[in-house]
Chain A
Amino acid sequence: MSDILLILFAITLIYIGVANRLFTYISVLAFQGVLLFGIAFIQLIEINTINLVFVLLETIIFKTIAIPIFLRRVIKRNQIKREAEPYVSNFVSVVIITAIIIGSFLLSNTVHDEHLEKMFFVIALSSLFTGLYIIASRRKVITHVMGFLIIENGVFVLSLAVGNEMPMLVNTGILLDIFVSVLLLGIFVNKIGDVIKEQDVESLSSLKD
């Protein structure tokens, strides 16, 4: 069952490659939150209740509801143009993201480890590199934040793989996730939005040599 959810997660990564509008990105992020909820529920059913509640709060309340609402507000309030404005064409993006997923599969095949479920490893790595690719290939600062959120989702998947025996790591990962997201988005809403109206990276590129 969790394999199906993980494969769906990989499909959302490819879907981000073709998405044109920022709101599609936000919907995909919210959907990934739901998927992570399902995976966490199946994977961590054995751990104690408090941890389980904590994980579920993070995935449903934080990833699926709070962050998407927050991002929508940022986009509306700062009047950001609704296209993602990538540097490369969507076709190239899809090819690269697919290559990332295949590469992760090949890498995971070199591991012989009965403790680790390979699917988690594959999806976590693909999510990490897809996030980095989104950051590198999109122009707007807000898409960089979304790329970072995709990386965070990947980290969450990876922490689930080890979470049964070390729930502390899952909780630390969740705290990191909340802390950094609030920090990044908080600066975005309060500061960058007030100072800069056009939220392209170009307007944040005067510091260089």
Chain B
Amino acid sequence: MIGIYLSSALVIALLLFLIRHAGLKYVLLGVFGLLQVGYAVYAFTHQNIADLEYFTPDALGTLFLIVLSIVTIPVLLHSYLYFVHHPYLPREQGMYYSAIVILITALSAAYVSNHIGITWVFVELTTLSASALIYHRRNILTLEGTWKYIFVCSISITLVFIGILFLSIAIQQEGLKDLTYVSLMQNAPLLNVFWLKLAFLFIFTGFTSKAGLVPMYTAGIDAKDKAPHPAGALFSSVLMNIGFLGIFRFYEIISHTSIHGWSNNVMIISGLASVFVATVYMLKVKNFKRLMAYSSVEHMGLVILGLAAGGIGAYAAILHLVLHSFAKPALFLQFGQLNRTFNSKNIYQMGGYFRLNPTGAIVLLLAFFTVTAMPPSGMFISEFLIFRSLFEARQLWLLVVVLLLLTFIIWAFGKNVFRILFTKPVAFDESKFVRIRPVESLSQFFLLFMVLWLGFNPPAFMIEMIQTAVANLP
């Protein structure tokens, strides 16, 4: 089935790139949407069955795949809206759609792959397609963003490869050759810890560029800022999940060895530094898109802290990621309307949004409450569980520092959102303003509702999947 999925997605991407006719493009995108959902359903019903030898949809991969498929639909809809309001050439539109199809396909394949090398290949493919999306506007700033993204991601992917080489040295000592996750996990206690330590450092550092953690988070910020907002919605949610997945799968292996505690310390340092960096920049930035991007860095930092704390933290981390993957796209997709209204990303040129676009303003307000994890947001529950796990792991000082930083973040985020909503805009010409139809905010309400619903009344199958996913951790 994955063979059919990959090849048809590739054909669709190729056709989207070649065909200039607008109507045909939408038909193709519709077909791709169906294909994506169809594959997610197939993976859900055929869990833990190897497909083409290298692809096994396990619980965590399938969960992320379902999340990706749900997020895909609004993203495609808003890509359509984006092109209605920004008339690009058919060739540029084709390039954009083709890149977005390849990105989603590569993400799906990377989620379900059971071999560390295959994951690596598809993560590399996401870099390529993401850079085409960042370069979409074709001006000097997007060029700079693309260059930085490709450069940092290339170094990161090379670091992951070095990590895999160290890992292969370790397994060769035991006379093994198999680099699948299952085999690695079974043999983990036998492996030489020196090579495992090196491998963990390199693989962790490499995947932080995708996951948006310190030290390689910088490229992701520019990418989310410069790409069109529907692509930004993908970058700040499902693309970060693959970075997390790469770290998580290797962490599962490490957790069966004697360096488990050491790896927890590495992750705590990275997680705390991420939350700190996010706080510092969120207090400072004036660009709303970058503000949202730094908020993603903060959430990833919390997720890694939860994973490192262990216990309920691992469960909470994955729940938090799932919820974040719905909340952040809602915010990014809403940004499209904001940008159309004020024709700027700068917060100081926005204002009075509640009067101009009440529906959009309500989305922004709800999204703010959701993303900063205030009750009744579902993310409140996952964040609370993460804090509980830190408390249970006796990391009290860490908890105090993180909570303090979060207070600053809520203040910085709130200050800017309320400025946009309620203060009088500076130098804004209201005569040119075209009213935005409320129906364009429908998908954002749906995504935010998902966060609320999954947080407070999670379906049984989701709980079960998350529990299966973390069952291998000690």
- Give the B-binding residues of A (Cβ under 8 A): 110-111, 113, 115-116, 124, 128, 132, 135, 141, 144, 148, 151-152, 155, 158-159, 161-162, 165-166, 168-169, 172-173, 176, 179-180, 183-184, 187, 191-192, 195-196, 204-207, 209
Partner of B146, one of A110, A111, A116, A187: A187
With both beta carbons as reference points, the residue of chain A lying nearest to B142 in the complex is identified as A207
Name the 7 nearest CB pairs between A and B, nearest first. A204-B144, A180-B154, A207-B222, A209-B285, A158-B165, A162-B168, A209-B281
Can you offer 15 A-B residue contacts whose CB atoms are under 8 A? Answer: A113-B169, A116-B169, A135-B155, A155-B161, A155-B165, A162-B165, A166-B168, A179-B124, A187-B146, A195-B143, A207-B144, A207-B148, A207-B225, A209-B285, A209-B287
B453 sits at the interface (CB 8 A): no
Decide: B169 and A161 in contact? CB cutoff 8 A. yes
Bound complex: CA of A176 vs CA of B120, how far in Å?
10
Known A155-B158, A205-B144, A209-B287; further 15 A-B contacts with Cβ < 8 A: A113-B194, A113-B195, A115-B172, A124-B162, A158-B162, A159-B165, A166-B172, A168-B117, A172-B117, A183-B154, A187-B147, A192-B143, A192-B147, A206-B141, A209-B290
Bound complex: CA of A110 vs CA of B197, how far in Å?
13
* CB-based A-B contact count at 8 angstroms: 96
> Interface size class for chain B?
35 or more
Partner of B177, one of A116, A135, A165, A196: A165
A40: min CB distance to chain B, Å:
15
B146: min CB distance to chain A, Å:
7
Bound complex: CA of A135 vs CA of B148, how far in Å?
13
Partner of B169, one of A115, A128, A196: A115
B433: min CB distance to chain A, Å:
29
Q: Which residues of B contact A184 (CB under 8 A)?
A: 150-151, 154
Bound complex: CA of A124 vs CA of B145, how far in Å?
30
With both beta carbons as reference points, the residue of chain A lying nearest to B226 in the complex is identified as A207
A81: min CB distance to chain B, Å:
19
- Give the A-binding residues of B (Cβ under 8 A): 117, 121, 124, 128, 135, 140-141, 143-148, 150-151, 154-155, 157-158, 161-162, 164-165, 168-169, 172-173, 177, 192, 194-195, 222, 225-226, 281, 284-285, 287, 290
Bound complex: CA of A94 vs CA of B249, how far in Å?
40
Q: Which residues of A contact B222 (CB under 8 A)?
A: 207
Decide: A115 and B128 in contact? CB cutoff 8 A. no
- With A196-B140, A207-B225, A209-B281 as known contacts, state yes or no: A183 contacts B150, CB within 8 Å: yes
B5: min CB distance to chain A, Å:
23
Decide: B141 and A148 in contact? CB cutoff 8 A. no
Q: Which residues of B contact A158 (CB under 8 A)?
A: 162, 165
B116: min CB distance to chain A, Å:
11
With both beta carbons as reference points, the residue of chain B lying nearest to A110 in the complex is identified as B194
Q: Which residues of B contact A179 (CB under 8 A)?
A: 124
Q: Which of B124, B145, B168 has the most CB of A within 10 A?
A: B168
Decide: A111 and B194 in contact? CB cutoff 8 A. yes
With both beta carbons as reference points, the residue of chain B lying nearest to A204 in the complex is identified as B144
Bound complex: CA of A192 vs CA of B287, how far in Å?
25
Decide: A191 and B143 in contact? CB cutoff 8 A. yes
Q: Which residues of A contact B165 (CB under 8 A)?
A: 155, 158-159, 161-162, 169, 173
Decide: A176 and B157 in contact? CB cutoff 8 A. yes
Decide: A204 and B147 in contact? CB cutoff 8 A. yes
Partner of A169, one of B121, B140, B168: B168
Q: Which residues of A contact B162 (CB under 8 A)?
A: 124, 128, 155, 158
Bound complex: CA of A27 vs CA of B144, how far in Å?
28
Decide: B148 and A162 in contact? CB cutoff 8 A. no
Bound complex: CA of A152 vs CA of B165, how far in Å?
13
Bound complex: CA of A7 vs CA of B339, how far in Å?
57
Decide: B158 and A162 in contact? CB cutoff 8 A. no
